[in-house]
């Protein structure tokens, strides 16, 4: 529809005959009609409309309008302990703060411009190979995590983490991206020269695989063109007599390296998925580093975030 209605800038004459589009006097119509019109716009437009006039303000803030912007299943997702004076307030709250769902295993939030759902699967919600073996992984609480526990990687040879979510939980007609949300401890090792293989796919189907580097420091080195030299004591591969291969020349874009998030954590993109609303089943995401055969450690995993691409 966008192509049929050209962008209206400023400078068009006001009201009546001066306006090239004529004048549609909405105030002639009953309030609920006006609210219906507004519900066909967007959260941003509804906020703009509340500034137009007192009549528009009252219609644009009505529950009929904001009910439409909230996910259709929001009643089921919101814990009954939370109550709000209006649907607009509920919408606002869900944009500003995530809520924990599924027994604290996942978080849910709304993307403010579109109202589409954003999820984070906690580390406890993921399938982590060797995750229950204390020599390899341990579970700790961090104040800066939204979940009760995060997973700390002590030391593994075989790194494999998988997450899944029912596609029906995602907003329809939306392109989503999945990111691993994590931190590196000061002594992190084993991630600088060997990339991990990540993928996003519909369960049972062949998905999109990518290679990424889980080493935040490497990301910085690439950007600043510093020649990497890892002769540190913590390079276990050297202890084991394995020669660390020479890191390859910078390849791929910036999204092969971790980025810093607004909440202080790092994230690395695992892949994208377009939900047209017709697919049933589960979306699967995975992070694997099993080819190098070397030991690695020093990561703290908060979870996997699934959010709309902007």
Binding-site ranges for another protein (CB under 8 A): 1-2, 4-10, 12-16, 19, 21-30, 33, 36-45, 47-57, 92, 95-96, 112-113
Of 110 and 304, which has the nearer Cβ to another protein? 110
**Cβ of residue 26: shortest distance to another protein, in angstroms?**
6
| Shortest separation between residue 65's beta carbon and another protein, angstroms | 11
**CA gyration radius for the chain?**
24
Measure the CA–CA gap between 104 and 125, rounded to whole angstroms.
9
Q: Which residue has the tokens 């068009």?
A: 12
Give the separation between CA 93 and CA 252, rounded to whole angstroms: 38
Query: Residue 171 and residue 142: Cα distance in Å, rounded?
Result: 30
Closest by CA to 7, choosing from 21, 24, 25, 27, is: 21
Q: Which is nearer to another protein, 24 or 240 (CB)?
A: 24
Q: Which residue, 113 or 203, has its beta carbon nearer to another protein?
A: 113
Residue 40 corresponds to which tokens in the numbers above?
A: 């066909």
* Residue 113: CB minimum distance to another protein, A: 7
Looking at the Cβ atoms of 70 and 161, the one nearer to another protein is: 70
Instruction: Output 49 or 299, the one with its CB closest to another protein.
Output: 49
Work out how close the CB of 44 gets to another protein at its nearest, in angstroms, rounded to a whole number: 5
Are 178 and 305 in contact by the 8 Å Cβ rule? The answer is yes
When the beta carbons of 41 and 155 are compared against another protein, the nearer one is 41
Between 29 and 244, CB nearer to another protein: 29
Can you tell me whether residue 135 is helix, strand or coil? Answer: coil
Least gap, CB of 57 to another protein (angstroms): 7
Give the nearest distance from C-beta 31 to another protein in angstroms.
Answer: 12
Contact between 143 and 271 (Cβ < 8 Å): no
CB 296 within 8 A of CB 184: no
Residues 266 and 144 sit within 8 Å (Cβ to Cβ) = no
Cβ 29 to another protein shortest distance, Å: 6
What is the rounded CA–CA span in Å between residue 253 and residue 255? 5
């Amino acid at each position: 529809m966008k192509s049929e209605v050209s962008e209206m800038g400023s400078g068009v004459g006001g009201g009546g005959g001066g306006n090239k589009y004529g004048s549609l006097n909405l105030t002639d119509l009953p309030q609920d009609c006006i609210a219906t019109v507004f519900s066909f716009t967007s959260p941003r437009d509804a906020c703009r409309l509340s500034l137009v006039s007192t009549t528009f303000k009252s219609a644009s803030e009505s529950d009929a309008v904001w009910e439409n912007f909230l996910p259709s299943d929001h009643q089921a997702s919101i814990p009954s302990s939370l109550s709000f004076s209006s649907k607009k307030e509920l919408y606002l709250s869900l944009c500003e703060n995530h809520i924990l769902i599924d027994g604290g295993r996942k978080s849910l939030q709304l993307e403010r411009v579109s109202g589409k759902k954003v999820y984070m699967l906690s580390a406890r919600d993921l399938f982590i190979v060797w995750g229950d073996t204390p020599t390899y992984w341990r579970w700790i609480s961090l104040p800066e995590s939204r979940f009760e526990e995060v997973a700390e990687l002590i030391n593994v040879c075989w790194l494999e983490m998988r997450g899944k979510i029912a596609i029906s939980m995602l907003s329809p007609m939306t392109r989503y991206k999945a990111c691993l949300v994590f931190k590196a401890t000061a002594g992190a090792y084993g991630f600088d020269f060997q990339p991990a293989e990540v993928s996003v796919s519909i369960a049972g189907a062949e998905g999109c695989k990518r290679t990424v580097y889980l080493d935040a420091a490497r990301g910085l080195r690439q950007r600043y063109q510093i020649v990497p030299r890892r002769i540190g004591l913590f390079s276990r591969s050297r202890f084991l007599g394995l020669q660390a291969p020479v890191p390859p020349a910078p390849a791929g874009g910036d999204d092969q390296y971790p980025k810093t998030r607004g909440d202080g954590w790092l994230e690395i993109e695992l892949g994208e998925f377009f939900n047209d609303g017709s697919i049933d089943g589960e979306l699967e995401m995975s992070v694997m580093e099993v080819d190098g055969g070397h030991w690695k450690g020093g990561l703290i995993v908060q979870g996997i975030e699934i959010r709309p691409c902007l």
